[in-house]
Amino acid sequence: MTFGQKKISGKYSNKFGEEIELKMDSTFVYNWKFDLASSWSKGKWSLKNDTIFLKVIPIMDTTKIVEKNKYSDSLILSSDQKASVIEKDELITNALSSSGQNRQNPPTKLIIKNERLFRLTENNKIDSKKHKHPSSSKKYQTFFIKSK
């Protein structure tokens, strides 16, 4: 762990139902919630100068498939944060759910300024554009503010 990681680690949230927790061990948890839908992702983060890079690491479950008396395994995104072996009925239930892993992907690059995380565009420019909030006519920037 570097000094920069300790200073940056913590929870950040924005007005769009997103939350990122940057942990001191260089892992992160991303959560997004809106109305009845939600998503979560986990992975590793790294810091280069003032830019934070997020790399999602999917958590996979194994499900057994039986076709013509032959068994095979298939990997699918886990519905919880622990890899396990699941049955067919759990697979169907998870597919019908309005929440799950990586349904809303986190940003891949952020820049930190004054305890705020700003998204970077493909051209590595700060996304300062205001976006319409899904539940109102108001527009907001998408930056994340660190919780105290």
pLDDT tens string 61-117: 888 777 787 877 888 788 888 888 877 777 666 666 677 888 889 999 999 998 899
With beta carbons less than 8 A apart as the criterion, state whether 41 and 108 touch: no
Q: Is the confidence at residue 124, as pLDDT, over 80?
A: yes
- Stated pTM of the model: 0.82
Whole-number pLDDT of residue 94: 66
Q: What percent of the chain has pLDDT over 70?
A: 91
Tokens standing for 1?
A: 């762990």
Distances (CA, A) of 122 to 10, 83, 116: 25, 33, 19
Q: What percent of the chain has pLDDT over 90?
A: 44
Intervals of CATH 2.40.128.640 along the chain: 3-57+107-146
Question: Exposed, middle or buried: residue 5 (CB in 10 Å: 0-12, 13-18, 19+)?
Answer: middle
CA 83, CA 73: separation in Å to the nearest integer?
14
Q: What is the mean pLDDT of the chain?
A: 86
Instruction: For 127-137, write each residue's pLDDT tens digit.
Output: 888 988 888 88
Amino acid at 132: K
More confident site: 91 or 141: 141
DSSP 125: -
Tokens standing for 16?
A: 């769009």
Q: Is the confidence at residue 41, as pLDDT, over 90?
A: yes
Helix, strand or coil for residue 6?
helix
Q: How many CB atoms lie within 10 A of CB 56?
A: 16
Tokens standing for 42?
A: 């986990």
Whole-number pLDDT of residue 118: 96
Query: Topology of 3-57+107-146 in CATH?
Result: Lipocalin (2.40.128)
